[in-house]
Amino acid sequence: MARKRRKERLDGSLLFRIFIWVMEILLIVLMAYAVSRLFFRTATMQDSSMEPTISVSNTILLDKAAYRIHSPRRGDLIAYRLTDDDTEPMHIKRIVGLPGETIQIAGGQILIDGETYKEGHDFPAIIDPGIASDPVTLADDEYFVLGDNRNGSQDSRYASVGNVRKKRIAGKIWFRIKPLRKLGVL
């Protein structure tokens, strides 16, 4: 009789442990889903404006919370919209000019406040400076963006894009998901 009671306690204990284990897994899955929806988003590169850094059809991960913690920095890869309409497609570019700076493109080079900007990447000289052939002074909430494919990108050099206001920045691009052979931090 004592053995039977002991076996029932063990069986009940095992069922309870399995129940707790299943609940923990469900909770972890729900938390992961919530975090991913609140803080991250995926996007697919639609054009060649960021080549060779990001190629057409690459899927990247966008950190939507990054700029709630700190301001965008020079060199950051960002996703932004041209208007306040959330249904508009996102564009992906690199920040070159920060709020309050004066940007100009002369002789194929980027000038920031009159000084030649030395980039950490080997980008080609810019052939068409667009509206940045004259100095462009950024407002307190504006950023000057360029595509890494300097001569094949519609970016802040063109009036149709112009300077990007901070409120239109959807987030920071930081990780490539696809293709798998290029998986990694950008």
Tell me the pLDDT of the chain (186 aa) as tens digits. Answer: 555 555 555 556 788 888 899 999 999 999 888 777 778 888 889 899 999 999 999 999 999 888 988 999 999 999 999 988 888 889 999 999 999 999 999 999 999 999 999 988 888 899 999 999 999 999 999 999 999 999 999 999 999 999 999 999 999 998 999 998 998 888
State pTM to two decimals. 0.80
Range of 108's domain?
A: 45-185
The domain tally of the chain equals 2
Task: Based on the fold, state whether residues 124 and 62 are members of the same structural domain.
Answer: yes
Domain harbouring 178, CATH code: 2.10.109.10
Task: Based on the fold, state whether residues 107 and 24 are members of the same structural domain.
Answer: no
In angstroms, the CA 137 to CA 159 distance is 14
Task: Based on the fold, state whether residues 35 and 55 are members of the same structural domain.
Answer: no
Please state, rounded to an integer, the average pLDDT across all residues of the chain. Answer: 89
- Give the Cβ contact number of residue 138 at 10 Å: 18
Task: Based on the fold, state whether residues 97 and 24 are members of the same structural domain.
Answer: no
In angstroms, the CA 161 to CA 169 distance is 13
Q: How many secondary structure helices (H) and strands (E) does the chain include? A: 2, 12
Q: How far apart are the first and last CA of the chain?
A: 66
